[in-house]
Structure formats: C-alpha cells, structure tokens
Amino acid sequence: MIAARRISGALGAEISGVDLSRPLSKADFAEIKRLWLEHLVIFFRDQQLDERQYMAFAGQFGEPVEYPMVRGLAGFPKIIEVKKLEHERVPFGGIWHTDTAYLERPPMASMLIAREIPPVGGDTLFANMYLAFDSLSPGLKKLLEGLKAVNASTKADASMTREDAMKNSGKETKNYSAEHPVVRTHPETGRKALYVNECFTSRIVELDRLESRAVLDFLFRHVERPDFIMRWKWSVNDFAFWDNRAVQHYAVPDYQTSRRMSRVVLAGEKPGSPTRLAPRRKQS
C-alpha cells in the first residue's frame, strides 16, 4: 500500500509502497496525484529507473518537454543532466527559482532522480508559494493581485547558474521572455501562489523601476522564510516530483565534488488560464 510521511510543516512528503519502474494502477496513480497536489513536492527512495522507465513514469502524469537551454541525453532528448563537476564554479539551479518561468507556458511539474551525489552536502531546498502569498498583509495582497512581472532567461543571476551546463551542451539557444501574473491561481487547486522568483523575474510591469525593484527585493527575501521551507538530503536513486506552479527550489552549493541528477519537466498551461479544479476525494 502507498503510504506518505510528512517531512515538514510547510510542504513535502516521502512516499513508500510503490515501484516507479512499473506502470501505475489507476488507484495508485490517483493516490500519487492527490498526494502531490496536497504536499507540493513528494519523494520516493531507492527508485532504480533507467531512461526508458523514467520517461514512461513521467508520461503518466503529463507531456514531457525539452529544456530549451541544454541538450538532452542521446536517444532521450527530454531528459537532461543537472550536474556540477568538481572543477565547475556554480551548481545548476543554485538560486531560488521556479523552472523556466521565462516561457509563455512554463512546465507544470519537474522530476529529478539522483544519479551521483557528493559525500557531504548537495541538498535541495523547496519553498511553499501558497504560504508565501497567504502570509502577506491584506494591503500587499491587494496591491500584488492583478500585477504582471517580466521573467527573462537573460537575467544575470539565471545565466550564471547554467553557464557551465550550456558551455558543455552544444545546443543552440535563444533569449526568452514572458509576462506572468505576480500572484498565480493554481489551475487545479484554485489556491493563490506567489509567482515571482529571484532567478528569472526582472521587473513588475505596472510599477516604475525603483518601485519594482523595492517590491521584488522584498518578495525575493520573503520567500526564503524558514517556515515556508523544507530541506531534502539526497541519496542515490532518490526521486523527487514537485509542482512547479506553487513551489520554488534551490540547490545548495555547499560541496566541491561532483553531483549528477537526471531531470524531466512536464508541459504546463499559461499562468492565468482558467481554473480546472481537481476532483475531491470521496469520503469513506
């Protein structure tokens, strides 16, 4: 039987009782989807998936899509390696962010499986953006709702974290930019989440330059509050699956050895599109 153990008060659960290398039953799929929406990020220990099995699992939850900045694995272009080698300066994802927010349709979900981890360090932090919005004052909520922000792939903080990966990829890339709501309504839960991040959000459209900088600087620090965050210490073959629409994450750069992960993202909707609430679980 599938069981869930909560990891923190903010978000996150460790799921046991399922082998992701095999097709899920309808009941197991429904339960995992429910737990994912409830806990925002879920983890499965000791999942020994090859690339074909990885893609098969991902395809049960959505449409895997290619990452625009780095070439995927040979034969599996929608799986990329997220890695930092010993000589590289900055880990991929070493800043608070939600994946590829610079796209018109950012991915709804991200999946990560640990292939190689450092002996010490290399944890990942996850932050709950529902809580980040809910904890704001009524006045600030009123100001932020209805505003839009520009998210750009060329922001300096973002470029720094993927510099080594792009250099070694050999993939031609272009610059991306998209405007998204500062406060996003989750299309399946109907809950509101803060949707700006330090990695990609460059300015708020409706504010002047100084106002935008002041508001964003506050929000970037606000999302880092300890009561919004959980920390995951990786083991080889750990599998993480998080909701990109309501979670930010940060790869902690506290190690000097290699760290290698495999990542898949699932196609999402344009932020601000109509809500399609997930069905409620029947009460027994």
Active site residue ranges: 97, 99, 249, 263
* DSSP helix, strand, coil percent of the chain (3-state; round to 5): 25, 25, 50
Place of tokens 């904890």: 135
Q: Tell me which DSSP letter residue 128 carries.
A: E
Distance, CA of 56 to CA of 209 (rounded, Å):
46
Biggest CA–CA distance in the chain, Å, is 56
Beta partners for 128? 247
Distance, CA of 68 to CA of 140 (rounded, Å):
34
Number of alpha carbons in the 13 Å side-chain half-sphere of residue 44:
20
Whether 60 and 24 have beta carbons less than 8 Å apart is answered as: yes
Exposed/middle/buried for residue 183 (C-beta within 10 Å: 0-12, 13-18, 19+): buried
- At 129, the amino acid letter reads M
Counting every residue written for the chain, the total comes to 284
Distance, CA of 205 to CA of 215 (rounded, Å):
12
Beta partners for 43? 14, 240
- Cα three-residue angle 115-120-122, rounded to 5 degrees: 55
